[in-house]
Structure formats: structure tokens, C-alpha cells
Structure 1
């Protein structure tokens, strides 16, 4: 009985490991990226970022799912002194990557980003992006059903997402 249990656990772990190896479409192309929307600092969906002195929030009006499967949004970071910076980002759920398309600085407005796709789980500066992906933007290795569902799931929070209303 004990050996059977261990075999089932190992088989389950192997299944989990292989499920994470999702083949990425070699013919995938990113569509033309729309320009960043106007910066909004009110009505943001607050993100709980433990260990950060910055407050992060997602602009629900900026969330869009492109035909290429990229979830694009604006995330606003506010310091304890009230300084506001923002990033116009895209999350590619199929590959678990994030890209910064533009940054908004108080002095210069939107400035185009020059970065490439970066792994969500390895990028220290994008902990907020990983949280957005896990808590609303992505369902498994695909985008959530719609922008409305992403907003709903981000507002609900991970501990209450699967509870009945």
C-alpha cells in the first residue's frame, strides 16, 4: 500500500512537471502594439505587494486581450511620497513572459520601452506582473476569457476567487 501511494505521488509530480512544458507556437507573431492609453490614477485595482514600499494598482479601463493572445494593461506604482510612475505592459500567458512597452514618468510622460520578453518568474522588477498574471490575466497557459473577467478576478483576490457569492 505504501509503495502504491509513493508511485501515485511520483506519477502526479511527473504529470505536473510535464504539464508545465507547454509547446510554444513557432509561428506566433506579436500584433502591432496599440499606443499606451492615457494615464489614470483613480479607480485602480489595488495589488497586494508584500515587502514593497510602493503601492501598485492596475487601471481596469486599460486591460485588453489582443488577437495575438497578449494581455495588455497599465500598472501604476505610487511611492510613499506620492510620486507616480506607470508601466504599459503585456503578459504572454502561453510562454509565461512579460514585456514593458512603455514607461510613464512624471516629467516626461510615456516613453517607449526597449525591452524584450522576460520570464515572469525570473524578473525581480516584475513581481507585480506575475501577480497580475496569476490572479486574473491568465488561466493556465492562456489569457482569461475577457477583459471583464480579468477585472473581476483581480478585484476578487486569490483567497476568495473560488467561493460562492
Structure 2
């Protein structure tokens, strides 16, 4: 009984220390300079489900995926309507905090317009589109951890690619 109490006390102190370390790491975090939006190919998108109620198809070009040293996964997201109209965003996800940031938007002519003051916002907020959260769940994040590599993320997206059609 004493051993069990000692073991529980040790485990609790270790977990408290780990959470304290995580809080320090989050407080000291600084975002790296964001590279310019990469070129993308709408014909090579890896498609994933956002919502059955959505009339848009969402996908990312695997060639645009980048995991930086600061833990930000950046990508080009393409939302396409049934008529072929596209909304293209250059974004970043921080899995550890559950946040997303839009850096730039592409015009129909392909010209990127940087967001004036991009800010991190929760993927869990009541936003008009839940594409970032769906992307995170499709393989970009494993709970609060980012995908271990771009290749692993691509593999996860391909595994989930036709999840709405599983019967």
C-alpha cells in the first residue's frame, strides 16, 4: 500500500513537471519568418471531408506542405465549389495549441494577397469554415502533436481520402 502511494505521488509529480515544462515552452515560443506562399497545383490536391453539409470540396497540394522548426505546419488549402470557383488560402497550423493562421489569399488570377495582420485563432472556435480542424483531424495533427513528417501527413491524408465513401 505504501509502495502504491509512493508510486502515485511520483507519477503525479512527473506529470506536473511535464505540464509546467510545456507551459514554459509555449510561453517562450516564437514564430519563424513565414516564407512566401508556394506555387500550388489544383490538379494534385489531396481531398478530405470537412462536413457532409458543405457544398465545397477541400484539399491541399502535398507539394506545399512544410513543417518548420517552430512547429508550424504550413500549406495551401483549396476550397472548390460545384461550379468550379476556388477559394485558395495559405495557412499554418499549430497542433500543440490547436490554432490556425491565414497568411495570404489567392485571387482568381493567381495573385497572392497577404493578410494585413494575420493572427492565430482557435480551430475550435465557431468559425464559418471548419476546414483547418478537419485537416488537423485528417492527419495534420495527432491530438496536440503535429504529424511526424510531411511524408507521414501525406500518407494519413491518402488513407482518409475517401472516408466519406466507406460503406
- Per the shorter chain, which TM-score range? 0.7 to 0.9
Aligned residues: 140
Q: Cα 1:106–1:134, aligned 2, differ >3 Å: closer, same or farther?
A: same
- Hey, what does 1:68 align to over in structure 2? 70
- Hey, what does 1:57 align to over in structure 2? 59
Which of 135, 140, 144 aligns to 1:141? It is: 144
Alignment root-mean-square deviation, CA: 2.1
Q: Establish whether residue 112 from structure 1 lines up as the match of residue 134 from structure 2.
A: no
SS of 2:103's equivalent in the other structure is: strand
SS of 2:97's equivalent in the other structure is: coil
- Hey, what does 1:154 align to over in structure 2? 157
Which structure shows the bigger proportion of residues in helix conformation? 2
Supply the distance in 1 between the matched residues of 2:45 and 2:75 (Cα, whole angstroms). 11
Q: Cα 1:61–1:158, aligned 2, differ >3 Å: closer, same or farther?
A: closer
SS of 1:155's equivalent in the other structure is: helix
* Superposition map of 1:72-87 within 5 A: 72-87=74-89
Shift of 1:159: 9.4
TM-score, normalisation: structure 1: 0.78
Q: Cα 1:98–1:40, aligned 2, differ >3 Å: closer, same or farther?
A: same
Q: Which range is displaced more, 114-123 or 67-76?
A: 114-123
Q: Establish whether residue 41 from structure 1 lines up as the match of residue 56 from structure 2.
A: no
SS of 1:42's equivalent in the other structure is: helix
SS of 2:44's equivalent in the other structure is: coil
Supply the distance in 1 between the matched residues of 2:88 and 2:160 (Cα, whole angstroms). 22
Q: Which structure has more RCO (C-alpha within 8 Å, separation ≥ 6)? A: 2
SS of 1:72's equivalent in the other structure is: strand
Q: Cα 1:143–1:40, aligned 2, differ >3 Å: closer, same or farther?
A: same
Which of 92, 100, 109 aligns to 2:102? It is: 100
Structure 2 unaligned segments of length 5 or more: list them. Answer: 1-18
Supply the distance in 1 between the matched residues of 2:161 and 2:87 (Cα, whole angstroms). 25
